[in-house]
């Protein structure tokens, strides 16, 4: 079992829909990151969370430390949101500080 699990793997939505991507982790973490990978391959860091909730534009990220779960929400989705969204857990200890989920491929159709 992977230390970081994301769901769903693939998601197709109509423009304007509210989208939720989930991330569960099994390790102790000091921070959780959400990344966006564009179709061209470039990666952008969206959020760093150690507790609570953050909002940037139409994107909202939440984390529940006790439940070891984080969600990324996109409100009023748009075709330009089409990308792969990756969750990454920054572990407290161990040699590998950042452990990645396999990503959620989002397609937003106009």
Residues listed for the chain: 110
Question: Of 19-78, which residues contact other proteins (CB under 8 A)?
Answer: 30-31, 33, 35, 41-45, 48, 50
Q: How far is CA 71 from the centre of its chain?
A: 7
By CB under 8 A, which span of 19-27, 52-60, 73-81, 99-107 interacts with other proteins? 99-107
Taking the C-alpha atoms of residue 56 and residue 40, their distance in angstroms, rounded to an integer, is 23
Taking the C-alpha atoms of residue 11 and residue 19, their distance in angstroms, rounded to an integer, is 9
Residue with token string 């984080």: 70
Q: Which is nearer to other proteins, 23 or 88 (CB)?
A: 88
| Tokens of residue 49, six digits | 């969370």
Q: Which is nearer to other proteins, 31 or 60 (CB)?
A: 31
Binding site for other proteins (CB under 8 A): 30-31, 33, 35, 41-45, 48, 50, 86, 88, 90, 95-103
């Amino acid at each position: 079992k992977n230390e970081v699990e994301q769901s769903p793997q693939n998601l197709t939505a109509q423009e304007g829909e509210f989208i939720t991507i989930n991330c569960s982790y099994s390790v102790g973490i000091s921070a959780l990151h959400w990344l966006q990978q564009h179709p061209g391959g470039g990666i952008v860091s969206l959020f760093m969370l150690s507790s609570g909730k953050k909002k940037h534009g139409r994107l909202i990220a939440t984390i529940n430390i006790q439940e070891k779960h984080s969600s990324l929400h996109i409100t009023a989705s748009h075709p330009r949101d089409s990308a792969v969204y990756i969750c990454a857990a920054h572990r407290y200890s161990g040699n590998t500080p950042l452990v990645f989920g396999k990503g959620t491929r989002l397609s937003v159709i106009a």
